[in-house]
Chain A
Amino acid sequence: GESVGLHLPTLSVQEGDNSIINCAYSNSASDYFIWYKQESGKGPQFIIDIRSNMDKRQGQRVTVLLNKTVKHLSLQIAATQPGDSAVYFCAENIGRAQKLVFGQGTRLTINP
């Protein structure tokens, strides 16, 4: 069936350190993946995306890695800041309707 899941539900990191959030997906037909950040009381906010024909993509302080062999996705956040504290979701695109399938989420806490 369709499922996107995460290995770690919570992650605490010291401010300034790097963080890595992982995600496993099961649908090998998925061709597009997105990482979202959700702060308390708000909707998901787009961070970065990657297509299945790529294995790495970089943004500002964020990098997404895709390993299709083991169906694994990760989000790396460099030099974390207090504002990075949030729940992070990976999502995959399935089907022509372009609906998104979300994982469970990882709560990232940045300690001062």
Chain B
Amino acid sequence: NAGVMQNPRHLVRRRGQEARLRCSPMKGHSHVYWYRQLPEEGLKFMVYLQKENIIDESGMPKERFSAEFPKEGPSILRIQQVVRGDSAAYFCASSPSGRAETQYFGPGTRLLVL
């Protein structure tokens, strides 16, 4: 049973470009969470999605950031017009039930904005 998969593992973008981060949850998991981690800091919640629905986006910046979890395919975190402050590690976690203790984390995508 494969774990949570994220790709790409490393992504380099220039300021103003778009970044697309993908998260494939574990088999049977219909709940996905995205977190952002700045260097030397803890993870910060961004958004919680179930299939085709955004449940909680209280941690998402109001502009340039969006997330989706379509009926088919991976969850996508999209960052438009990236700025240097977007450089961070982005982790997704999946869960079969939406309960905190059942969140399994992926290896993360390290985004570097030049």
Bind each other: yes
B80 at the interface (CB under 8 A from A): no
Pairs across A and B, CB under 8 Å, 21 listed: A32-B100, A42-B108, A43-B4, A44-B91, A89-B42, A89-B43, A91-B100, A93-B101, A95-B56, A97-B48, A98-B48, A98-B99, A98-B103, A99-B100, A101-B45, A102-B35, A102-B43, A102-B44, A104-B40, A105-B41, A105-B42
Cβ of B45 and Cβ of A99 under 8 Å apart? yes
Q: Which of B42, B99, B104, B106 contacts A104 (CB 8 A)?
A: B42
Per-position 1/0 for A19-48, Cβ under 8 A of B: 000000000000010101000011111100
Interface residues of B in 18-63 (CB under 8 A from A): 33, 35, 40-45, 48, 55-56, 58-59
- Known contacts A43-B107, A45-B105, A100 near B48 by CB under 8 Å: no
Count residues of B near A (Cβ-Cβ below 8 Å): 27
B96 at the interface (CB under 8 A from A): no
Q: Number of contacts between A and B (CB, 8 Å)?
A: 67
Interface residues of B in 87-107 (CB under 8 A from A): 91, 93, 95, 98-101, 103-107
Which residues on B sit within 8 Å (CB–CB) of A44?
Answer: 43, 91, 105
Closest to B59 in A: A99
Which residues on B sit within 8 Å (CB–CB) of A49?
Answer: 101
User: Secondary structure of the A side of the interface?
Assistant: strand
List residues of chain A with CB under 8 Å of any chain B CB: 4, 32, 34, 36, 41-46, 49, 89, 91, 93, 95, 97-105
Cβ of A100 and Cβ of B43 under 8 Å apart? yes
Cβ of A100 and Cβ of B91 under 8 Å apart? no
CA distance A32 to B102 in the complex (A): 12
Cβ of A100 and Cβ of B107 under 8 Å apart? no
CA distance A98 to B95 in the complex (A): 10
Residue among B35, B93, B101 with the most chain A CB within 10 A?
B101
Closest to B97 in A: A98
The 9 tightest CB contacts between A and B, nearest first, are A102-B42, A43-B105, A93-B100, A97-B56, A99-B45, A98-B100, A102-B43, A44-B105, A43-B107
